[in-house]
Structure formats: C-alpha cells, structure tokens
Amino acid sequence: MCGIVGFIGAEEAAPILLDGLSRLEYRGYDSAGVAVYGEGCGLQVVKAKGRLKVLEELTQNGRALHGAAGVGHTRWATHGEPSDVNSHPQVSADGRFAVVHNGIIENYVEIKEFLQSKGVEFVSQTDTEVVAQLLEYYYKGGLLEAVGKTLERLRGAYALGILCADHPDMLIAVRQDSPLIVGRGEGFQMLASDVTAVIKYTREVSYLDDGEIAILTRDGVEVMDRYHQRVDKPVSHVDWEISAAEKGGYEHFMAKEIMEQPQAVRKTISTRIREGRVVMEGMEFSPAYLRDMDKLYIIACGSSYHVGMVAKYVLEKLLRKPVEVTLASEFRYCDPIVTKNTLALVISQSGETIDTLAAMREAKRLGARVLAIVNVVGSTIAREADGVLYTWAGPEIAVATTKAYSTQLAVVYLLGLSFAQTMGTVSEEEGAALAEALLALPGKLEEVLERRQDVQYFASLCFNHPSIFFIGRNLDYAVGLEGSLKLKEISYIHSEAYAAGELKHGTISLIEPGTLVVALASYSPLFEKLMSNVVEVKSRGARVLGLTTADLAEEMGKTADYVIAVPRTHPLLQPSLDVVPLQLFAYYVALQRGCDIDKPRNLAKSVTVE
Ligand code: F6R
C-alpha cells in the first residue's frame, strides 16, 4: 500500500524519484507526486491523480524540477478519494514541510480538530496532512525537535519521508509498523518502501525498525531509536539482479511470473533435499517438540491463506496433528486458543502484510513459537519470527500472486515432509517417494506451461461469462479457492469457489442454463464423488470446464464440456500443478477483456493497512 521514496545527493533528484516510483507503483497507483528542493527554486511540489505516467508527463520525466533532495509517493487511497489535492506529498500551510506517508494515522481526527482550534486550515481529506501541519505547528527552527514532538502525538502505522525547506541538506525517514528501508550510496542516500526502488542505485541497504528515525544527508545516515539514542544499523547487501524486477520481454509481469514458476520452485526445493531427506536451514524442531505440539495454527491472508488451506489437508495427513487455518485479520480478534505447545505457521509473500504481522505478534504474545514462510528477505515478518523459511521466488511485481503462491506451497511440502520424517509418521519409503516427487515437480510444471495454448483457447470461449463457479473436493477445493480469487481480482468476473459437496446446500440455486462451472477433479480418491457433483450441475444446464490429471481426462470428458489435463504427480503435490492452468485461465480471460492485468482496480500489493 502506497510506495514512498526519497533521495538526497548531488544529482537532480526528480528523475531518480520517478524511476523509484515506477518500481513501487505496484504498491498503489491511484495518484502520485514528488517534492524537490533546489537552490533558487525552493520547494517544488507536483502531484496528480492517476497513474505515474501523468506525473511523468507533468514534470517532463522529472526534468522540470530542480534540486538534489526530494521525496516521492505513489498512492493507494485510504483517507480521501484519489484526487490531486489528496495526493502526496502533503505540504504544511506555510509551504515549509513536504511529507510522504504509507500507513494510517489513526488519531488524525483528534489532531485535526486540535490544529483547527489553533486556526490551521486543512486543504485535503487525508490523514497525512495532519503530520505536515503538526510539523509546522511545532517548528521553531529545530527540525528534529519538531519531528520528535510530532511523533509523540501520532498513533497508528506510518512510514514517513519528510523534507523541510529550511533544512534541504537532510531528509528524515520515520518508521512505525510500515516498512521502510534506507539505501546507502557514495555521495547520496535514499529511503524507500522497499529495495526495488533503490537497487538500481545501491545494493547496500538498512532495514529500519519500529520507532526508528533516520536522518539522511548526502554523505551518510544517522539512525536514532524512539528515545533519540543512536542506533548502529547493520547494512545488508541485496544480491538479486535488477532484471528480476523487470518484464524481460513479456507483455505483463504476471505472464513472466507464471512462466518463472518451474525455476522458482526448483530453487526453493532443490537445495533442501539431500538423499531423500529434507534439510531446512535455520529450523530446529526436535522429535520431542513435535510430539508435544498440540496444534499447528496457520495464519495468513488472501492467496497465502489459500496455501494454508492446501497445507491443512497435507499436514494433517502427514503429521496426524490438528491444523487450524485462520485469516490473519480474524485471528487477532477471535481470542485464539494458543498454548506454549502451539506452533504458529505464518505465511506471507511480502513479509509486511499488517494483518499477518499483527496476528503473528499476538500469537507470540500468547506463547506460540512462530515459524514464517516469507519471500522478501529482511521483511518485518522474517525479522520478527522465531524461524523463517524463505521462498526463493525472486521479486514478485504483478499484484496477483503466482510464483510466490507456488513456492509457498513448495515450502509447505518440504516442511510437512521434514516434520513427518522427524516424527516418524511416514515410512522411509513413503518419505523417499515424496522427496522424489518434489524434485520432479519443476519438470512437470514445465510440461503444464507447454500446454498453455489449450488454456488460452478455453479462455477465448469463456471470457464473457458474467459469473463462474469453481468446485472441488479436499485438495481440489483448496486449489479452487485460489483459481477463483485469481479470476476475480484481475478479470473482474464474479466467481465463487465451493466445496463441491456443499453446493446443493444453497448455492446450486445460482446454477442456470449456461452458467460456467470449473470442476477440479485431480484428487483421485474423490474423483467419482466429484463427478456426481458435475452431473448435478450439468443437469441444471451448466457448462463444465473440467481440470484433471491426464489419466482421468478421458473419463471426465464423457461428462464435462471441455477438459484440461495436467500430468499426475504424488496426490499431495497435485495442487502445485493444478493451480497453473487456473492462473493461466485468469490471465487469458483478463487479457481478452482488456483488463489492466498487473495493476487491477482497487488493489495493491503488500497490504500494509488494516
Ligand atoms: C492475491 C494476492 C493477495 C495476497 C495477500 C497476502 O493474488 O496476492 O491475496 O496473497 O494480500 O499477501 P502476503 O502474502 O504478502 O502477506
């Protein structure tokens, strides 16, 4: 949600800020703005509703603004509609302070009323404007004093970038519950919501922690904690290539990321299996701990939650321990039953989703041990969990996740196998067979992708359906949830995913002649049961697109109108292959409908507000 960037150095800041914003646009894209300070030009602020390209045009790609210090913002509106005036930077009434913000100032109404009672006039509906106006209110010539007093009054989540016209030789960065990093260069420093914005300029970054304030000058960065004590921040080296965050010839990031899945899954799995056994870095769970574990609590949002739904079936089968999957946004407020023997498994691509982070903190507070599955190295969840298993998907830019989902699933399988081998709940042979099947997954994913034209063809037949149902049982149901989410988020077609046996308890009333039903039937033990449900919807006139394994395709084709077949793998791993045609289906349907695939309406990647 919202991307912020800042630069201070010797070069013109605006083109660098715009370049940084172009890499953060996936975090929010309803408006954008920059503020730059230049000798003789003062504080120049340009901001506009719409995509970043509007701002690029207004500023001639930044060439119209002069100065070597500035901040920029790309917005996902929370308070106040997308509009020029609500765009960031928000500027104080005296024009001295420019502020960019990611997060929510929860007590902004109270602060606004206080300032209004002192005669301050507000121009926007944003919560952020109170920060700029408070800075002005407290400013008596000392920038850090004004920042300190302002922060004392703020409640909520915020990452802030602050530029003051009286102190153009410094930028202030503040972090509280919203991600913020500092990029360290030779003769310049940067701040940003994530490393993608700075990596073209520097690979040396520091991750700010909650309550920290960074003072960036051209020559260095000083970091203080909330008590104004100096903090020695470690500097981490980012080792991925910038090309990983570029389209590389594909029309959309989503297409590129779908196609990258074999290699991402290979990278995630291959180094972690040795001689049929799983070796997970940084993870020690003794047989005694696992024996005494009373419950595995999976906590996540969105697609990561859908991985959790697959995980429940897989882990319960492998470990014979109860697994509860819960939406992070619900976990915090449901008085969860957690003991010191509960293992909380937190799943998050970004490692910054605020609901997941807050739920993780709550699980820890209640005594659970926390293991996180995360893609972004150095993210808050990765740093705060007791243990972290990284998915090696590389940067995921498309808002709709694909390769992160697939690598999360791969880590779940590795984790399940590792625990099962430690607990002895699988035999040597069963364990070895699962390990072998895991190592073969990337090759099978390649086979699925080679058949993508089949899916494109079906998408061309179905893209005008007003409503699409996904049905499945057991693992197929869990995959259907993800297929349905992918479709609705990027194609805007209404869709529902149902446990196939549940349909007749209400929702079947929505099936009418011509309704499209995607029936997932790869979980072979329940193939016949699922086919009965297919017959039920066919009897009511539904058009059925079946998804099953190659060996069952002919049988399914006797009832379904069309069938997409995927290779067969170990039954527990089948979701890894099944999800790919569903991702492709959503992609091609959205393409046919002319949707903005990488930046779907109303959405943003990395959801850092509650
Ligand atoms: C859907 C999607 C979202 C995320 C969700 C959680 O395509 O990407 O549903 O899965 O916002 O995000 P993370 O995994 O970053 O916590």
User: pLDDT tens digits for 229-239?
Assistant: 999 999 999 98
Instruction: Say yes or no: 84 and 156 in one domain.
Output: yes
**What separation in Å is there between the alpha carbon of 389 and the centre of ligand 1?**
17
pLDDT of residue 230: 96
Report if residue 600 sits inside a domain: no
Residue 594 has pLDDT above 80, yes or no: yes
Query: Is residue 346 one of the residues assigned to a domain?
Result: yes
Residue 286, number of CB atoms within 10 A of its CB: 9
Q: Helix or strand or coil: residue 7?
A: strand
Q: Are residues 277 and 410 in the same domain?
A: yes
Q: What does each C-alpha distance from 217 to 36, 95, 193, 332 come to in angstroms?
A: 15, 21, 18, 40
Neighbours of 1 (CB within 10 A): 25
Going from the Cα of 92 to the center of ligand 1, the distance in angstroms, rounded, reads: 35
- Percent above pLDDT 70 for the chain: 100
pLDDT digits (tens, 9 = 90+) for 515-568: 999 999 999 999 999 999 999 999 999 999 999 999 999 999 999 999 999 999
Establish whether residue 329 lines the binding site of ligand 1, counting it when its CB lies within 6 angstroms of any ligand atom.
Answer: no
Q: Is 12 in the pocket of ligand 1 (CB under 6 A)?
A: no
Q: Is 354 in the pocket of ligand 1 (CB under 6 A)?
A: no
Q: Candidates 607, 608, 609, 610: which one to mutate for ligand 1, based on the most atoms within 8 Å of Cβ?
A: 607
Q: Which percentage of the chain shows pLDDT scores above 90?
A: 90
CATH number reported for the structural domain that contains residue 62 in this entry: 3.60.20.10
Q: How would residue 225 be classed by pLDDT, with cut points 50, 70 and 90? A: very high
Interval between CA 245 and ligand 1 midpoint (Å): 18
* Separation of alpha carbons 241 and 558, rounded Å: 49
DSSP-derived secondary structure for 436-502: HHHHHHHHHHHHHHHTHHHHHHHHHHHTT-SEEEEEESTHHHHHHHHHHHHHHHHH--EEEEEEGGG
Q: Which residues pair with 155 in a beta bridge?
A: none
Q: Measured between alpha carbons, how far is 256 from 587 in angstroms, rounded to an integer?
A: 11
- The reply to whether ligand 1 has any atom less than 6 angstroms from the CB of 349 is yes
301 lines ligand 1 (CB under 6 A): yes
* 605 within a domain of the structure (yes/no): no
Judgement on whether residues 334 and 384 belong to the same structural domain of the protein: yes
Task: Assess whether the C-beta atom of 302 lies below 6 angstroms from ligand 1.
Answer: yes
Determine whether 54 is exposed, middle or buried from the number of CB atoms within 10 Å of its CB (0-12, 13-18, 19+): middle
Query: Residues 56-67: pLDDT tens digits?
Result: 999 999 999 999
> Are the C-beta atoms of 588 and 603 separated by less than 8 Å?
no
Nearest CA to ligand 1 atom 11: 302
State the Cα–Cα distance between residues 498 and 484, nearest whole angstrom: 10
At residue 230's C-alpha, the angle toward residues 21 and 98, to 5°, is 35
Place of tokens 């099936």: 511
Tokens in use for 561? Answer: 């109108």
Question: Is residue 189 one of the residues assigned to a domain?
Answer: yes
With a CB cutoff of 8 Å and minimum separation 6, the contacts of 312 are: 298, 323, 324, 325, 478
Residues 260, 351: one domain?
yes
CA of 215 relative to ligand 1 center, distance in Å: 32
Domain ends where: 408, 430, 448?
448
Q: Which of 245, 263, 298 is the last residue of a domain?
A: 245
Q: Kindly give the number of the ligand 1 atom that is closest to the alpha carbon of 486.
A: 7
Write the CATH number for 266: 3.40.50.10490
Same domain, 42 and 186: yes
Domains: count for the chain: 3
Residues 463 and 444 grouped into a single domain: no
Q: What are the pLDDT digits (tens) for 8-41?
A: 999 999 999 999 999 998 888 899 999 999 999 9
Q: Is residue 297 part of a domain?
A: yes
Active site residue 200: no
- Ligand 1: which of 193, 304, 397, 605 to mutate, judged by most atoms within 8 Å of the beta carbon? 304
- Report whether residue 348 contacts ligand 1, using a CB cutoff of 6 Å: yes
Q: How far apart are CA 599 and CA 198, in angstroms?
A: 21
Assigned domain for 412 exists? yes
Residue count (the chain): 610
Ligand 1 pocket member 576 (CB < 6 A) = no
- Asked whether residue 602 is assigned to any structural domain, the reply reads no
pLDDT value of residue 12: 97
Residue 373 has pLDDT above 90, yes or no: yes
Whether the per-residue pLDDT at 265 is higher than 80: the answer is yes
Assess whether 527 and 546 both reside in one domain: yes
**Amino acid 234: pLDDT:** 93
Instruction: List the domain range (segments joined by +) for residue 120.
Output: 3-245
Angle formed at CA 73 by CA 52 and CA 31, multiple of 5 degrees: 45
Q: Which of 188, 210, 245 is the last residue of a domain?
A: 245
Give the separation between CA 17 and CA 44, rounded to whole angstroms: 13
What burial class does residue 521 get, using C-beta atoms within 10 Å of its C-beta: 0-12 exposed, 13-18 middle, 19+ buried?
buried
Confidence of residue 610 (pLDDT cuts 50, 70, 90): confident
Q: Which has more pLDDT, 172 or 608?
A: 172
Burial classification of residue 40, based on how many CB atoms lie within 10 Å of its CB (0-12 exposed, 13-18 middle, 19 or more buried): exposed
Q: Is 605 a catalytic residue?
A: yes
pLDDT, average across residues 65-73? 97
Mean pLDDT, residues 241-258: 89
Catalytic entry in 47, 233, 486, 605: 605
- Under the banding of pLDDT at 50, 70 and 90, the label for residue 242 is confident
Do 443 and 458 belong to one domain? no
Q: Which two tokens stand for residue 479?
A: 């995959």
Structure tokens at 363: 């699980």
Asked if omega into 168 is within 30° of 0 (cis), the reply is no
Residues 225 and 374 in one domain: no
Q: Return the pLDDT at 210.
A: 93
The ligand 1 atom nearest the CA atom of 302 = 9
Q: What is the pLDDT of residue 607?
A: 77
Cα–chain-centroid distance for residue 280? 23
Q: Is the CB of 489 under 6 A from ligand 1?
A: yes
**603 inside domain:** no
- Pick the residue whose CA is nearest to atom 3 on ligand 1: 302
Predicted local distance difference test score (pLDDT) of residue 248: 85
Q: Which pLDDT score, from 0 to 100, does residue 356 have?
A: 97
Do 309 and 383 belong together in one domain? yes
| CB 303 less than 6 A from any atom of ligand 1 | yes
518 CA from centroid of ligand 1 (Å): 23
* DSSP for residue 177: B
Alpha carbon distance 9, 186 (integer Å): 9
**How much distance in Å is there from the Cα of 301 to the middle of ligand 1?**
6
Check whether residue 240 and residue 306 sit in a common domain.
Answer: no
- To test the pocket of ligand 1, the residue of 193, 350, 582 to mutate (highest count of ligand atoms within 8 Å of its CB) is 350
Together in a domain, 192 and 308 = no
Report which secondary-structure segment, H or E, holds 206: strand 204-207
